[in-house]
Amino acid sequence: DFDVLIVGGGPAGASAAVYAARKGIKTGIVADRFGGQVLETVGIENFISVKKTEGPKLVASLEEHVKDYDVDIMTGAKASKISKDGMINVELDNGATLSSKSVILATGARWRKMNVPGEAQYSGSGVAYCPHCDGPLFKNKKVAVIGGGNSGIEAAIDLAGIVEHVTVLEFDTKLRADEVLQRKANSMSNITIITQAQTTEVLGDGSKVTGLQYTDRATGSSHQIELSGIFVQIGLMPNSEWLDGDIDLTNRGEIIINDKGETSMEGVFAAGDVTTTPYKQIIIAMGAGATASLSAFDHLIRQVEQ
Ligand code: FAD
């Protein structure tokens, strides 16, 4: 049995593990894949105090830091159910059940993909998902944003200040973003918005993106745009399906937490991209992991042994 069991081995989970282990309590971490989204990241330039690093390199440092402490690391297993009977029980897809006095949920999120030819091939060499992370790579270049919801239009406004030109492609007949964001985007001279546009292919020269192809859904005609970057903003999906019904989630599936990282189940905390935190970044996930861990410790020292 654990004092703290962390589910997820990304930046939030790793940070929570180090903070818990430093309290000298029995800490376990179970993860499908250690490293999380960071494993898929090519260049990282906004992890403060490290000017530039790469995803796999940062993951190796995270793992080294966690392994420096007495933490039971279990990878290759996915949590599939949480329940409580005095102890908190986490069932795994391999049939095992882990019990702990407190649990930290840090299962992260995944970006929705367009699933068109070229997208996977050019991911990290023109196809991007995070404007805060990769915007500056496209300084003075032409880019597209796929998706006209709040995150797409926010990304377009953000990028328009850095890049030469932004084309927004929205599948529907109109944008879904808040009115105030739409007004702002329409007022910027280097943003073009195209509605009823279905992206059909990412075009490239074998090493990087050179453009994209889309179908005008109103006429059925096909068009090409030349550009260097494509920001896909069609949704970030929290890895929380397995908690539905047991832990309170928003209608978008994010775990609802308060300032201390507490969830709706007593003794269960959450951190990082899987939660309602408004910004999804490595440094923010790490801070949240620390918060959740300190809150779990605070909870444990208030428990009286029966
Ligand atoms: P994640 O990193 O998503 O980790 C989740 C962990 O949970 C993983 O270990 C996963 O295997 C595990 N898991 C999931 N479900 C289960 C389950 N049911 N059971 C057990 N384990 C489970 N941020 C920046 O700050 N700078 C950048 O430059 C940057 N670039 C990015 C580039 C890309 C391509 C992507 C996709 C993201 C980028 N981000 C960047 C965002 C950043 O990676 C995330 O904000 C951060 O990784 C979130 O950390 P997390 O620990 O909450 O979740």
Task: State if residue 11 touches ligand 1 by the CB under 6 angstroms criterion.
Answer: yes
Question: CA-to-CA distance for 187 and 91, rounded, in angstroms?
Answer: 52
Residue 198 and residue 116 in contact, taking contact as beta carbons nearer than 8 Å: no
pLDDT at 223 over 70: yes
pLDDT at 207: 97
Substitution site in 282, 283, 284, 286 for ligand 1 pocket (most atoms within 8 Å of beta carbon): 282
Number of helices (H), then strands (E), belonging to the chain: the values are 6, 19
Nearest CA to 170 out of 233, 227, 120 is that of: 233
Dihedral angle sign, alpha carbons of residues 55, 61, 67, 69: negative
Q: How far is the CA of 109 from the centre of ligand 1 (A)?
A: 6
298: amino acid identity, one letter: D
pLDDT (0 to 100) of residue 3: 98
pLDDT, one tens digit per residue, over 153-167 is 999 999 999 999 999
What ipTM goes with this model? 0.99
Out of 105, 112, 122, 239, mutate this one to test ligand 1's pocket (max ligand atoms within 8 Å of CB): namely 239
Ligand 1: centre distance to CA 196 (Å)? 31
226 pLDDT more than 60: yes
Tell me how far the alpha carbon of residue 213 lies from the centroid of ligand 1, in angstroms: 29
User: Can you tell me which atom of ligand 1 is nearest the CA of 77?
Assistant: 20
Counting every residue written for the chain, the total comes to 306
Once rounded to an integer, what is the mean pLDDT over residues 63-88? 97
pTM of the model: 0.91
Each residue's pLDDT tens digit, 265-306? 999 999 999 999 999 999 999 999 999 999 999 999 999 775
